[in-house]
């Protein structure tokens, strides 16, 4: 099992895995154009050439509500592990790799919107009110049929930079 940056050749399989969970209403679906535009955000866990899990680290700018000194934020999104490989540590490994990448980029905080906050809490995240996240975070949420009545939990991790 290895974790690596995604390539364009992975797009079809990434989309298939993510959209399987989207059909179950665990995350937003991915269109090919969105995936190709954001392929650099994705990492994959693969074994013998087959992708077992995917995750993306998406960078955002928090303008500190117009107060000047903005902060780089990153969102962990599209975390999905094939059902046959869940509970094997793949999800944790993917999130940890995203955190490591965020630290290397100088990101100060990493957050996720999730239906499984306990998973992220085990990795050091703390649950926060969604309203405390910058407005920019909600851009993708407008595509969701649940918006604005979202029932996901917001979790955040402050990195030591």
The CATH code of the domain that includes 113 is 3.40.630.30
Q: Which structural domain range is residue 26 located in?
A: 2-158
pTM: 0.87
- CB crowding 78-106: b at 16 or more within 10 Å, else e: bbbbbeebeeeebbebbbebbbebbeeee
- Res 146: pLDDT: 57
Tally of structural domains, the chain = 1
- Res 69: pLDDT: 54
Helices (H) and strands (E) in the chain — how many of each?
4, 7
- Res 26: pLDDT: 86
Residues of the chain under the 50 pLDDT cut: 68
pLDDT tens across 98-127, in order? 999 999 998 999 999 998 999 999 999 999
- Res 33: pLDDT: 93
């Amino acid at each position: 099992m290895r974790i690596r940056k995604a390539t364009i050749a992975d797009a079809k399989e990434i989309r298939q895995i993510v959209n399987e969970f989207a059909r179950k209403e665990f995350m937003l679906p991915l269109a090919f154009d969105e995936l190709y535009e954001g392929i650099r955000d994705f990492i994959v866990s693969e074994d013998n050439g087959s992708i077992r899990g995917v995750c993306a680290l998406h960078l955002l700018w928090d303008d500190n509500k117009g107060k000047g000194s903005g902060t780089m934020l990153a969102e962990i999104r599209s975390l999905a592990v094939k059902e046959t490989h869940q509970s094997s540590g793949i999800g944790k490994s993917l999130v940890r790799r995203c955190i490591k990448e965020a630290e290397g980029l100088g990101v100060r905080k990493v957050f996720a919107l999730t239906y499984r906050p306990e998973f992220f809490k085990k990795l050091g995240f703390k649950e926060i009110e969604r309203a405390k996240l910058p407005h920019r975070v909600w851009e993708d949420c407008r595509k969701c049929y649940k918006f604005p009545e979202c029932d996901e939990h917001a979790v955040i991790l402050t990195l030591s930079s």
